[in-house]
Amino acid sequence: MTDLFRAAAPLLRALPPEVAHRATIAALRSGLVPRTETVDDPVLHVPFRGLTFPNPIGLAAGFDKNAEVPDAMLGQGFGFVEVGSITPRPQAGNPKPRLFRLPEDRAVINRLGFNNQGMAAAETRLRARPRRGIVGVNLGANKDSDDRIGDYIAGLKALGPYADYVTVNVSSPNTPGLRGLQNKAELEELLGRLEDARTAAGLAIPIALKIAPDLTEAELADIAAVAVEHGTEGLIISNTTIARPPDLRGRHKEQSGGLSGAPLFAPSTETLRRMYRLTGGRITLVGVGGVGSGADAYAKIRAGASLVQLYTALIYQGPGLVAAIGRDLAALLKRDGFDGVRAAVGVDVNP
């Protein structure tokens, strides 16, 4: 797909971002996009809760909102793919324009608002796909829901049987009030009800919680305590940020919404480091935010991540980036004498 991307990149960048994205999904759905190089090196294998990730590089939620192309993206070399965010009912999301490129900053600002076709459409697609490769489902709540926790439970029950794990997204900045579910009391209720629902449905899949990078130390401490108490299997760190670094240069830098890409690397990695320390390594952490190289992925791992995810960097560097990260990460691990990813997790974090 790398040569195809090089040929198509000028046209895609000339299109409005959402149009370019839909064109990319359509090309992947067509089946005409060839599989790309896969880095198969035992040093990159990551065991987790009965799963073995062939490499720790995942596709973050947001690219494949409707579970249309998970297998096509696994074919681009990712060790796992996360689809969504998916809400129980279809919703259009926020008014357009709502997606903005900042190429000078290798960043994107979005205020999409969980635009997706809903749970039923995703369930149909996930049920029909062959179960090969690791695919997670990112769950969201409808904007007008009067029981947002109930929305997550509905998603777990409907989509959990077809997923290798589910992620509870309570940290999008584009659904008013959603981030309030990260507060201690609401988070305790959310995780408690999800655990009960998982047990009642006879599901054994891990549940991960995706949090924001804009939290105070006290808020992070509360999340860590609740997650450890409830035996939460994973924390994904982090979602997009509402902060705006003063050195942003892109002409859309004042747009509202969540900022992703290179400017998010430092704050999300610091949040990752703090959560690894707060959880004492008892919860598997996934590092997201600004990953665009093998060195970036390695820094996330050394800060406490067992797995990493990316999305924005693909917009600017193309799908060949995945194999490049895998090769470079394997070389860095071997250079430093690590026999696997897990041996390097958290080595830069002070007790």
76, 38 in Cβ contact below 8 A? no
Segment 14-42 shows an average pLDDT of 89
- The strand pairing partners of 121, in sequence order, are none
State both tokens at 70.
């998970």
Of the pLDDT bands very low, low, confident and very high (cuts 50, 70, 90), residue 191 is: very high
pLDDT value of position 5: 55
Give, in order, the Cα–Cα distances in Å from 78 to each of 4, 74, 90, 329.
18, 5, 28, 13
Active site residues: 172
Average pLDDT, whole number, for the chain? 94
Confidence of residue 75 (pLDDT cuts 50, 70, 90): very high
pLDDT score of 7 more than 80: no
Proportion of the chain above pLDDT 90, given as a percent: 85
Domain 2-344 architecture: Alpha-Beta Barrel (3.20)
The C-alpha angle 169, 170, 176, rounded to 5 degrees, equals 120
**pLDDT tens-digit readout, 177-190:** 878 888 888 899 99
> Which residue in the block uniquely carries the two structure tokens 């939620």?
61
Whether 175 shows a pLDDT value over 70: the answer reads yes
What is the band of 30 on the pLDDT scale with cuts at 50, 70, 90? very high
Residue 2: predicted pLDDT: 54
Please say if the pLDDT value at position 271 is more than 80.
yes
The alpha helices in 135-248, defined as continuous H runs, are 148-159, 184-201, 217-229
Per-residue pLDDT tens for 287-334? 999 999 999 999 999 999 999 999 999 999 988 999 999 999 999 999
Domain locations in the chain as residue ranges: 2-344
Question: Is residue 4 predicted with pLDDT exceeding 60?
Answer: no
